[in-house]
Structure 1
Amino acid sequence: MQLTLVSHHLCPYVQRAAIVLLEKGVPFGRRWVDLANKPDWFRAISPLGKTPVLLADDTPVFESAVICEYLDETHEPRLHPADPLQRAQHRAWMEFGSAVLNTIWAFYTAPDAAALEARRDELRTKFEQLEAVVEGPFFAGERFSIVDAVFGPVFRYFDVFEALGEPSLFGGLPRVRAWRAALAQRPAVREAAVPDYRERLTQFLLDRRSELSRRIERQLASVK
């Protein structure tokens, strides 16, 4: 079966599916789509108008969590735990990862300083919750899981935020910091993003015309 991952260059949900594919060593192609100008062929295979979509031959599977589950059922090695209760817990933390991504969106689109700091506090609270459950070096210990595939793209945002002058959220969270570092070194996590991800995300953030956009503009002007 030929697998094609319909992708957007910055989509973290695309990255999580790509990480699972790369971890499993499954050959796949990419087909890129501009979500600001969705072509008819894409609308036909993505009822929600979102990436990713996995084309299994000509059959589309949409929604990243569903794609990851499908891949885990059909390709070794299995990334979910074998125990049903642990597997359910992992699926719950995958959903938590999506909630973190929603808060990241609210952070970089915050219209003013008060809103930005409120979202920063929300993110800090979420990472404090993770600090209590992460085992290390990965989410559930030595074994890489789909939860790790979910959080690799999450931490990638903060690599860019910090490079652009934003303070770290991870002080006093040693387990989360170590987890972030372990994911950053994982080949599948690195290879899931496009080579110019940082430049693309920086421009994307500037285009939001948000409080964070203005801070980035000042930071970039100060280093010229």
Structure 2
Amino acid sequence: MTQQNFHLIGHQICPYVQRVVILMIEKQIPYLRTDIDLDKKPDWLSKLSPVKKVPILVINEKQILFESDVICQYLDTVSPNSLYPKNTFLKASHCAWIAFATDILNLVAKLIYQDKSLNEVNKTLVSIENKLTIIESRLSDNDGFFEDGFYMVDAVFATIFRYFHVLGLLTNSNLFCGLPRILKWHNGLAKRQSIQDAVPMNYDELLLNFIKKQNTYITG
């Protein structure tokens, strides 16, 4: 890979930023990182991204990419040892499951940002559980989603599973219940260095404090 300077604009606990960070750690891509406060977004953010969201990747101080999937695929393309399969169909299949994972993440966001009643929370939890059941049926008894290595799809699901402990405390639920293959997959991913290093050591505390700032049912 031609030497380039990468500057990642992110947020400490954002799952979409985590996707990029995990990929960069796995592929040993050096980068500078700046985290912003989402409650006080800097004025310069809108100059870098029309959607005013993180992650943003600044390349060589002049080229800019936004949207996590775009950033990940760019970085994967310009560096060796892809986290996507070489086979065209399998790569498309991985991307489809990443999109499915994003649907689950959107439901997690609904719990955090939107649901105002116990009934709404329970409906969202059921929707998450239904999607997890589909994943459970797809998994083998091995540790990964695809059995021959660690891929971007594993990284994406790891960022979702990371929510479940805090969400369980706030909703009196266990999203891993009855899903032994997913739990095994999660436990394996949680031991991986790139997954651990993608967030601060006090991630659960930061996430809990972040959620408590939202005016929704699970904040009490």
Query: 1:219 is matched with which residue?
Result: none
| Contact 1:16–1:64 (CA under 8 A) maintained in structure 2 | yes
Out of 102, 110, 117, the position equivalent to 1:106 is 110
| Contact 1:22–1:188 (CA under 8 A) maintained in structure 2 | yes
Out of 46, 55, 58, the position equivalent to 1:55 is 58
Query: 1:148 is matched with which residue?
Result: 154
- Distance (whole Å) between structure 2 residues aligned to residue 3 and residue 163 of structure 1: 37
Query: 1:95 is matched with which residue?
Result: 99
The Cα of 1:116 is off from its aligned counterpart by 0.5
Count, aligned residues: 214
The Cα of 1:134 is off from its aligned counterpart by 2.6
Q: Does 1:175 align with 2:181?
A: yes
- Distance (whole Å) between structure 2 residues aligned to residue 69 and residue 152 of structure 1: 18
Query: 2:121 is matched with which residue?
Result: 116
1:3-152 aligned at under 5 Å gives the runs: 3-58=6-61, 59-109=63-113, 110-135=115-140, 136-152=142-158
- Distance (whole Å) between structure 2 residues aligned to residue 197 and residue 47 of structure 1: 28
Q: Structure 1 length as normaliser, TM-score?
A: 0.91
| Contact 1:137–1:179 (CA under 8 A) maintained in structure 2 | yes
- Distance (whole Å) between structure 2 residues aligned to residue 165 and residue 49 of structure 1: 30
Give secondary structure in 1 for the equivalent of 2:173. Answer: coil
Kindly provide the CA deviation profile for residues 129-178 of structure 1, in whole angstroms up to 9, marking residues without a partner as x. Answer: 11122343121114000101111110111122235573212222121111
The Cα of 1:75 is off from its aligned counterpart by 1.1
State the one-letter code of the partner of 2:203.
Y
Give secondary structure in 1 for the equivalent of 2:64. Answer: strand
- Distance (whole Å) between structure 1 residues aligned to residue 146 and residue 172 of structure 2: 29
Q: RMSD of aligned C-alpha atoms? A: 1.4
Kindly provide the CA deviation profile for residues 191-221 of structure 1, in whole angstroms up to 9, marking residues without a partner as x. Answer: 001222211111111111322111xxxxxxx
| Contact 1:15–1:192 (CA under 8 A) maintained in structure 2 | yes
Q: Where does structure 2 lack aligned partners over 5 or more consecutive residues?
A: none
Percent identity between matched residues is 34
State the one-letter code of the partner of 1:193.
V
| Contact 2:170–2:218 (CA under 8 A) maintained in structure 1 | no
